[in-house]
Amino acid sequence: MKNIDFAEVNRAALSSLPAIVSGWLPNGRREGQEWVSLNPLRSDKKKGSFKVNLHNGKWSDFATGDRGGDPISLGAYLHGLSQLDSTKQLAKMLGVSYE
């Protein structure tokens, strides 16, 4: 069994990040290099406090201080997964083989 290459999965996710976040955060919209959305994990009423940088994958909820540095951590946060499980889910979604 091949070890999961977190960097490889993140690179693959970055190249498809607009499509990924539009699926994960369908109530959002693109504003320049960012995806601006409501945070689905809290009763967020105003777009703008939750943003994902579509170039580097960094994301933040400016209202709560939750943040991360890549698509893997975003998937883990949004879906309540560990970093490993988020990586596996992204790898499967993107066709990145690790087994």
CATH number, domain of 45, equals: 3.90.580.10
pLDDT grade, residue 99 (50/70/90)? Answer: low
State residue 53's pLDDT score: 98
**Residue 2: is its pLDDT beyond 80?**
no
Q: What mean pLDDT comes out for the span 17-33?
A: 96
Phi, psi of 2 (to 5 degrees): -75, 140
Q: Please report whether residue 1 resides in a domain.
A: no
Q: Is 0.75 topped by the overall pTM?
A: yes
Domain that holds residue 31: 6-94
Q: How many domains does the chain have?
A: 1
Pairs from 64-69 (Cβ < 8 Å, separation ≥ 24): 64/39
Spatial contact of 36 and 21, defined as CB atoms under 8 Å apart: no
> For the segment 57-83, what is each residue's pLDDT rounded down to a tens digit?
999 999 999 999 999 999 999 999 999
Q: Please report whether residue 99 resides in a domain.
A: no
Residue predicted with more confidence, 43 or 24:
24
Helices (H), ranges, the chain:
6-15, 17-24, 71-79, 83-94
Q: Please report whether residue 84 resides in a domain.
A: yes
Contacts of 53 (CB under 8 A, 6+ apart): 33, 34, 59
